[in-house]
Structure 1
């Protein structure tokens, strides 16, 4: 009986961790992330004025003004700096 309970607990924990990983927008190991400074430089080269960069949903979330002066909230893949989501 104890072995059955232990097996159920382990499988539940494994499924929970997998579900949490799927909830993340960017699923990139931390060892493969580029730095926030590198991202800031990349978006500045596009003419963006960076207000804040933070980590959210496994991505870099950038609050900025774009080259047209419009507010932007964008999620970037931390490895490739590809935009994976833009907030309206």
Structure 2
């Protein structure tokens, strides 16, 4: 029984985190910074940007970071805050 309660509590916390990340990408397009500005910021940080696309209201960037690691990263289109990295 305790495991069930703990599992349900964990799922509710995980679900709340996912909803929060989704909410951060719900920015009106008029408030978005251009993706060229995101690309320039990342290049200044040593990234090699392969592709930037829009996914669920976020900028999704594919490329390699300054260390040469492959990155798939989601950014808030208004603030360029990192929301998720794969």
**Structure 1 residue ranges (4+ consecutive) displaced by more than 2 angstroms after TM superposition:** none
User: Which of these two proteins has the greater Rg computed from alpha carbons?
Assistant: 1
Q: Which residue pairs with 1:77 in the alignment?
A: 76
The CA deviation string for residues 10-54 of structure 1, in whole angstroms up to 9 with x for no partner, is xxxxxxxxxxxx6x7211110000001001001111110000000
2:31 alignment partner in structure 1: 32
Partner of 2:57: 58
Unmatched segments (≥5 aa) in structure 2: 1-18
Q: Does 1:44 align with 2:63?
A: no
- Hey, what's the Cα distance between the residues in 1 that align with 2:43 and 2:77? 16
- 1:57 deviates by 1.1
**Superimposed CA distance per residue, residues 46-81 of structure 1 (whole angstroms, 9 cap, x where no aligned partner):** 110000000001100000100000100000000000
Q: What is the aligned-residue RMSD (CA, Å)?
A: 1.6
Count of matched residue positions in the alignment of Structure 1 and Structure 2:
66
TM-score with structure 2 length normalisation? 0.72
Segments of 5+ residues of structure 1 without an aligned counterpart are 1-21
